[in-house]
Amino acid sequence: MTNEPELEVELMIGLVSISDRASEGVYQDQGIPALEGWLRTALTTPFRVETRLIPDERARIEATLTELVDQARCHLVLTTGGTGPARRDVTPEATLAIGTKEMPGFGEQMRAISLHFVPTAVLSRQTAVIREIDGHAALVMNLPGQPKAIKETLEGLKDADGKQLVGGIFAAVPYCVDLIGGPYMETDPAVCKAFRPKSAIRSK
C-alpha cells in the first residue's frame, strides 16, 4: 500500500451502534443519529454513510467492522456503545482484534475530555485502530454511548466565546485518513478545525 490519496473516491463512513436492547427494539437507538448529525454539521466534504445496529456480541462486532472496511470500503468507521467495564461491553476487544495497527492516542484524548464532566470517564475503554487490507485502509474508532458525550469527544471543549479549551479528537482524523491513503477531508472550522501540517494542506 502507498500513502497516495484515493483520488476521486467518495468518502465512505461506517457508523455502528452496539447495544443489546436497541438492536432488539426495546428502545430507539440514539447513537447513529447522533454520530451522523454531528458529521453532517462538521464535514464540508461530501460523504456517504453505511449504518449498522448490532448487539453486544464480540463475533458480530468483529464481523461488522471487517465487512465495513473490507467490503463496503469505508475510510472511517465510528462505533458507539459497549466500551465500559460491564461483562457485555466487548467493543474495544473486537476493535483491537480486527486492527492491523493500534492508535491509542484517540482513546486517551477521549477520556481526558470526558474527565472534565464526569469522574467515571476513567472507566471508559475506548480505543482506535487502523485496519489495512488489499491496499485499502480505514480508521476505526470507539466513541462513547451517549449523544452528549459523542459531541464532546469529537468536538472538544469551548468557552462561551467559542475559544477552544480542549481539543476534540476529530481534529486529527482528516490528517490520519490522509496518511493511510484515504480521501482528503475538510471540516467547518466553526465546528471542528481540522489540523494538518502546512505541507499537507491543499490549496483551494
Give average pLDDT by consecutive 10-residue segment, the chain, 204 residues: 59 97 90 97 98 97 98 98 96 98 96 92 96 97 94 88 85 98 96 94 82
DSSP class of residue 27? S
Q: Output the pLDDT for position 203.
A: 80
Tell me which CATH code domain 11-200 carries: 3.40.980.10
Query: Measured between alpha carbons, how far is 151 from 38 in angstroms, rounded to an integer?
Result: 7
Q: Output the pLDDT for position 1.
A: 46
Q: Output the pLDDT for position 158.
A: 79
Where b means 16+ CB within 10 Å and e means fewer, 134-150 reads eebbbbbbbbbbebebb
Phi, psi of 8 (to 5 degrees): 60, 15
| Alpha-carbon distances of 134 from 2, 30, 70, 95, rounded to whole Å | 11, 34, 8, 19
Domain chopping of the chain, boundaries: 11-200
